[in-house]
Structure 1
Amino acid sequence: MISLLSCQFVSKDNKAEKINDGNSFYAEGQLDFEDSNASEIKLNLYWATTDISVGKNRIAFGLTENSIGSLKNYETVIYSFYLSNNKNTLIHEVVNADYYEWPQGRGIYVANMNFDKPGSWGITVSTSSKKLNGEITTALNVNEKSKTPPLYSKALMSVNKTNSGEYKLNNITSDPDPDQDLYSLTISDAIKMDKPLVVAFASPGYCVTKTCGPQVNVLKSLKMKYKDKINFIHVEVYDNLDKIQGDLKQADISQVVLDWGLPSEPWSFLINSEGIIIGKYEGFISEYELEKNIQLVIK
């Protein structure tokens, strides 16, 4: 099974243990070609988001087909319904999903969905193009509360390492080509500036899915466009880069990452000028998607 997603880790006394199992859910369905002579083929869905809770959520997933590969930029609609013993299940919400390109030719579909109760929900994804129409239904677990800081909550006033004091860049980031501006502020200081903020938690040098480096590059690019209007911070996942030397068994997870309750990497957060989290993004978020969200904040 292909893993599209974030790299998960667990903490044991702040020690980092990688779990390179990507997503925890996989589903199969059928595609029906408009050509009646075409045979049925399997549609595969891979969840790119796992921290789903009551309220508004950004959900993301990849779609593949065994002979075609990744299904890119197909017209895609999502239907949600609560799974219960009631045979007359009602559709809760219908939303369109947008496709965003990922590094290395991959990509995901993204939609904002609302869930009004915890438990097991049914998700039907309907996709179509000029040549095919397909549908797949799977289950999605919705938690009562998010494992990570929830939307519309106050961001934690964290004091991450910066390059303005005792630390050198190679002690606070595994990025081989770091932008020092991303390490000049603590989250706490940035929030006190009454200016919007984007924070990305990622480990460019140790990310198994190879999306952390591209995620930090997204920050660099957007910083060049919006540095007068919004602050950008990269927080390295691992605290003792000088001791790791390629062996993650020696790695300690940053206390800031633990405080934010992040179960995987990368994660990004969009915080408004009042210090409120108004966007949270599990896994890689493309420059185009993040920029659309930033433009809503700085208007």
Structure 2
Amino acid sequence: MKIYILLISFVSLFLFSCSTHENVQIFIATEDLQLGTNRFSVAFADTNGLVNEESLEVSFSGAGGYPKFKKELIFVPFPDYYDAGLNNGLYTEIIEFEKSGEWKISLGDGDASFSVKEISESLRVGDRAPASNNLTIDDTSIENLSTGTPLNDSFYKNKVSELLKVNELFIVSFMSPAFCIDPTCGPQIDTLYELGDKYRSLPIVHIETYLNPVELKNDFDKKKINPVIREWGVDEGQWLYVVSKSGMIIAKFQGYASLEQIEEYIN
């Protein structure tokens, strides 16, 4: 009986230690949050490195500790096309924030603060997509359209303004592959290539953050912001929108969007 009790105690202690996160660091990927419904993305690290469990239960609390609620976040792995076996990724979930102001997310002994605005600065789900006159390969050479290599010509053949006229569902991706301030740009490019291969008739438009990619490779201080990103209200990070046939934004991702997440809106 004593051995049985000791065994149960050991198993309980083992399970508890496996589920406990210590020295937690929290990295919030979505910063442009607004009152109401948001797609929230975040990464965690603890004493064992980056956390990549299938799901995590975390706590959210508003200013003054109210409102306070728990939420299960689902792990979204980055694509591993080079078989590195790193299993890196983000946790994401749809979160409803019922008041603006300062909020806090907590896991284990770690927490991080973030702000929720009354209205986000970037275009929102339900907004009409602007008729952007983005540059294409018909306007200039492909080297002037992206800092990234290799380049996929199909990402640079469509103007947003023209796609809106033909009532076609499409994707718009904003980022600067070589100078992205978001560490998930690399995985996102791989996912866009996979998406393009799987859905060859789906228009995917990549809009480079900067107007002068060639010049930037020698001197980043000479960067010129692409005015198109201002039309969408996005910053120099990574953003992805899905636009419906009627021209309405039906999905918005700040940071990494997986193939499966995007497919929810295009199928």
The secondary structure found in structure 2 opposite 1:264 is: coil
1:120 is aligned to 2:102: yes
1:171-198 per-residue CA deviation (whole Å, 9 max, x = no partner) reads 1122211111111111111122212111
In 1, Cα distance between the equivalents of 2:67 and 2:208?
44
TM-score (norm 1): 0.74
1:53 corresponds to: 34
CA-based RMSD: 2.6
Identity of aligned residues (%): 23
1:188 is aligned to 2:161: yes
Is the 1:200–1:216 Cα contact (8 Å) retained in structure 2?
no
1:270 corresponds to: 242
In 2, Cα distance between the equivalents of 1:215 and 1:36?
35
- The structure 1 residue matched to 2:232, chosen from 260, 264, 276, is 260
Where do 5+ consecutive residues of structure 2 fail to align? 1-11
Is the 2:181–2:236 Cα contact (8 Å) retained in structure 1?
no
1 or 2, which has the higher strand percentage?
1
In 2, Cα distance between the equivalents of 1:216 and 1:260?
20
Note the C-alpha offset of 1:119.
1.2
Alignment-mate amino acid for residue 34 of structure 1: L
Alignment-mate amino acid for residue 121 of structure 1: W
Alignment-mate amino acid for residue 78 of structure 2: W
1:213-257 per-residue CA deviation (whole Å, 9 max, x = no partner) reads 4323322211221233x3211011110123223311111011101
In 2, Cα distance between the equivalents of 1:153 and 1:36?
47
Note the C-alpha offset of 1:40.
8.0
In 2, Cα distance between the equivalents of 1:117 and 1:259?
27
Report how many residues are paired. Answer: 248
1:9-65 per-residue CA deviation (whole Å, 9 max, x = no partner) reads xxxxxxxxxxxxxxxxxxxxxxxx934996983222111111111121111111111
Task: Tell me: CA distance 1:37–1:219, structure 2 relative to 1, closer, same or farther (3 Å).
Answer: closer
1:92-132 per-residue CA deviation (whole Å, 9 max, x = no partner) reads x554211011367321100111112211234344xxxxxxx
Alignment-mate amino acid for residue 140 of structure 1: F
Note the C-alpha offset of 1:140.
2.9
2:4 corresponds to: none
- The structure 1 residue matched to 2:128, chosen from 148, 151, 154, is 154
Is the 1:158–1:256 Cα contact (8 Å) retained in structure 2?
yes
In 1, Cα distance between the equivalents of 2:233 and 2:163?
20
Bigger Cα displacement from structure 2, 280-289 vs 75-84: 75-84
Give 1 or 2 for the bigger CA radius of gyration: 2
